[in-house]
Amino acid sequence: MGQSQARGDWVNEVVDKYADMVYRIAFTQTKNRADADDIFQEVFLKLCKSAVAFETDEHIKAWLIKVTVNTSRKFFASAWNKKTVKLPEELAHDEENTDVDVVSAVQSLPSKYRIVIHLFYFEDMLVADIAKTLKLKTATVKSQLSRARELLKNKLKWRI
Amino acid sequence: MFEKQYKNEMEKVAPSQHLISLTKAAMRAEMEPKRQRSVFKAAVSLAMAAAICLVLIGTMLLTPQADNAFFLKAYAMEQQSDGTIELREVDLLEQTSHWSSNFDGKELYLNIDLKCEGENIKSVDFYTDDGFFAKQQLKIIDGKIIYEAGVPAIGWTDAEGRSTVTMYGRDFEKIGSEFTLNENDITDDLLLFLGMELTTEDWDWVKHIPPQMAIRAVATFHDGKTQEETLTLDFSSGMGVGRGPVHTPEEIRKHIIEITDITKITDAFISEAKNQGLGEVEVNSVEISGEPDEGYKGIWRVTYDVLPENGTEWLVNQSCDVQLSINERDTFILSETNGEIAQISPSGYTVKILEE
């Protein structure tokens, strides 16, 4: 098999396998498709340029998650006015309406809460794995999940 | 109920086929073989060591002989006013260069990049009376440099986006005051350094470097003839832009700093800090666990790297010990410190821990 074809096969394999995951993480961080599109492409190009020798699929997955999160943050670095992420603004929805879109509710959370919620509830990752991937302490992830659930509970009026 | 509904809704969020196709095409184009010496992972440092980039490509400039040719040129990395770095050929007597270096309080290692270029060269012997030679060996697999977790690296990226590593880790293999390079010895995984003993606690350690250091080279050709030349490294005008504390806070803020890990190493709180040049740098990407309560106080070890744009230096897996503080805007601010709990780094900052 020629090297060019081997490269092409690898590209197809890795993008097909992780495209949805990367895109969804980018979307949770950016809250819009246009920015998620940009970040999606940037992350996979970074994968090409990476000097990391990936040993397992889990290794690649963790790397992609981390890089997507970081790339999303840098995307807003220039626009970020050197202030911490504040508590979410009130939803535009009627808060008595229990049919509030859950994705919107999650997206109203601070970015650090959004990513742990997404990785825990959508990617079904364990707290320890989330902590390892994002290079956080396990206690930090637990704290963020707990805080995020409280905020979501208030917004969704549901038991999470 | 939340989990199920969240999953159902997020399943609808997916990249378009058009985006996927474009991305795959871009990746294939990116992976086409390029004329690069090494694959890079670029980062720029928050650490204020004299991590200024120098790649000095030295070959021997000799009077050309009939069948033997041996050229010596110095290529200096020169930082432009806009912060980008250009490579230009310079006279050996007017080097305005940046030097990748590592100083641990006892020994200084400077990256040098000696090449044998020319015709009929069999080997080149290098000698120095001003220190010693040392080397590092990169780990390269399938043409890619393997970066091990936690190992710091220094490199540079030129204006065209070509990057190279100039230092990997802080372990150096001393060779001695003389060594020989055979024609097949120059490989992409070999980094050469000029080392010297330099014991000082002066934060401005650069001023203790000799104004000039010389490397003598003797080329041996296949026909048995030899020629000799001396390469002089001129530090009389300093080590390039950013001597001492390398960057101003404004220059640092130009770079995107990625914190990869931050761990508290002691609750000791520094009540007196003497920052010599850096001041406080706000790093937007820092997120500390929990609420900004008293738990932030203490000394934190920050591991970081930064991706600069083309034409700048970079560092990866660097670490520094910092004290955090927060202002009224709830922004965490890093003030780089060296405490008694950490090794004194050549960044020039000294701090005395007064409280436990």
Residue B85 scores a pLDDT above 50: no
Q: How confident is the model at residue B335 (pLDDT cuts 50, 70, 90)?
A: very low
Q: Are residues B23 and A102, on separate chains, in Cβ contact within 8 Å?
A: no
Query: What pLDDT score was predicted for residue A125?
Result: 93
Q: Are residues A74 and B31, on separate chains, in Cβ contact within 8 Å?
A: no
Q: Are residues B23 and A74, on separate chains, in Cβ contact within 8 Å?
A: no
Closest-CA residue to A38 (of B284, B15, B257): B15
Q: Is A136 in CB contact (< 8 Å) with chain B?
A: yes
Q: Are residues A84 and B329, on separate chains, in Cβ contact within 8 Å?
A: yes
**Average pLDDT score over residue span B223-251:** 55
Of A4, A49, A83, the CB nearest to B331: A83
Q: Which residues in chain B are contacts of A156 at CB distance < 8 A?
A: 2
CATH topology of domain A84-160: Arc Repressor Mutant, subunit A (1.10.10)
**Is residue B252 within 8 Å of residue B167, measured between CB atoms?**
no
Lowest mean pLDDT across A82-86, B44-48, B272-276 = B44-48
- For A77, the token pair is 């670095």
Q: B17-54 burial by CB neighbour count: b if 16+ within 10 A, else e? A: eebbeebbebbbebbeeeeeebbbbbbbbbbbbbbbbb
Which residues are CB-contacts of B224 (< 8 A; sequence separation ≥ 6)? none
CATH topology of domain A1-81: Rna Polymerase Sigma Factor; Chain: A (1.10.1740)
Q: Are residues A7 and B330, on separate chains, in Cβ contact within 8 Å?
A: no
pTM of the model: 0.42
> Which of A:85-104 have CB within 8 Å of B?
101-103
Q: Sort residue A132 into left (φ over 0), alpha (ψ -120 to 50) or beta.
A: alpha
Three-state secondary structure call for residue A128: helix
Mean residue pLDDT of chain B comes to 58
Of A36, A70, A102, the CB nearest to B9: A102
Closest chain B C-alpha to A109 CA, distance in angstroms: 14
Domain boundaries, chain A: 1-81, 84-160
Q: Specify the amino acid at residue B120.
A: N
What angle separates helix A3-30 from helix A33-49, to the nearest 10 degrees?
140
Q: Are residues B146 and A7, on separate chains, in Cβ contact within 8 Å?
A: no
- For B258, the token pair is 């990625």
Lowest mean pLDDT across A18-22, B27-31, B32-36, B223-227 = B32-36
Closest chain A C-alpha to B80 CA, distance in angstroms: 23
Q: Which residues in chain B are contacts of A140 at CB distance < 8 A?
A: 289-290
**Average pLDDT score over residue span B302-318:** 58
**Is residue B311 within 8 Å of residue B83, measured between CB atoms?**
yes
**Average pLDDT score over residue span B73-78:** 42
What angle separates helix A111-121 from helix A138-156, to the nearest 10 degrees?
90
Closest-CA residue to B31 (of A74, A69, A14, A35): A14
Residue A159: what are its φ and ψ, rounded to 5°? -95, 120
Of B23, B284, B287, the CB nearest to A41: B23
Instruction: Name the residue of chain B whose CA is nearest to A106's CA.
Output: B6
Q: Are residues A24 and B289, on separate chains, in Cβ contact within 8 Å?
A: no
Percent of residues, chain B, with pLDDT higher than 90? 4
Of B10, B144, B282, the CB nearest to A122: B10
> Which of A:6-25 have CB within 8 Å of B?
7-8, 11-12, 15-16, 19-20, 22-24
- Diameter of chain B measured on Cα atoms: 85
Q: Is A60 in CB contact (< 8 Å) with chain B?
A: no
- For B177, the token pair is 């005051």
Residue B26 scores a pLDDT above 60: yes
Per the model's pLDDT, the better-predicted residue between B220 and B340 turns out to be: B220
Highest mean pLDDT among A44-53, B20-29, B319-328, B332-341: B20-29
Q: Are residues B146 and A73, on separate chains, in Cβ contact within 8 Å?
A: no
Paired strand residues for B305: B258
Q: How confident is the model at residue B52 (pLDDT cuts 50, 70, 90)?
A: very low
Paired strand residues for B77: B87
Q: Are residues A136 and B20, on separate chains, in Cβ contact within 8 Å?
A: no
Residues of chain A with pLDDT under 70: 1-3, 51, 74-100, 158-160
CA pair distance B105, B349, nearest whole angstrom: 13
Q: Are residues A15 and B290, on separate chains, in Cβ contact within 8 Å?
A: no
Three-state secondary structure call for residue B177: coil
Instruction: Name the residue of chain B whose CA is nearest to A75's CA.
Output: B256
CA distances from B276 to B139, B246, B253, B280 (A): 37, 11, 18, 11
What angle separates helix B17-30 from helix A33-49, to the nearest 10 degrees?
30
Q: Are residues A49 and B39, on separate chains, in Cβ contact within 8 Å?
A: yes
Per the model's pLDDT, the better-predicted residue between B3 and B145 turns out to be: B3
Would strands B57-58 and B107-114 be described as parallel, antiparallel, or unpaired?
parallel
CA pair distance A40, A26, nearest whole angstrom: 7
Q: How confident is the model at residue B297 (pLDDT cuts 50, 70, 90)?
A: low
Q: Are residues A103 and B145, on separate chains, in Cβ contact within 8 Å?
A: no
ipTM of predicted assembly, 2 dp: 0.81
Q: Are residues B27 and A45, on separate chains, in Cβ contact within 8 Å?
A: yes
Q: Please tell me chain A's helix, strand, coil percentages from 3-state DSSP, rounded to the nearest 5.
A: 70, 0, 30
> Which of A:140-159 have CB within 8 Å of B?
140, 143, 152, 156, 158-159
Three-state secondary structure call for residue B163: strand
In chain A, the N- to C-terminal Cα span, in Å, equals 51
Helix (H) or strand (E) holding A113: helix A111-121
Look at the alpha carbons of B305, B307, B308, B311 in this order and tell me if their dihedral is positive or negative. Answer: positive
**Is residue B40 within 8 Å of residue B165, measured between CB atoms?**
yes
**Number of Cβ pairs closer than 8 Å across A and B?**
125
Q: Is A56 in CB contact (< 8 Å) with chain B?
A: no
Per the model's pLDDT, the better-predicted residue between A101 and B62 turns out to be: A101
Of A4, A74, A82, the CB nearest to B331: A82
Give the pLDDT confidence of B175-202 residue by residue, as tens digits.
999 988 776 775 667 777 888 888 766 5
- For B115, the token pair is 């090449």
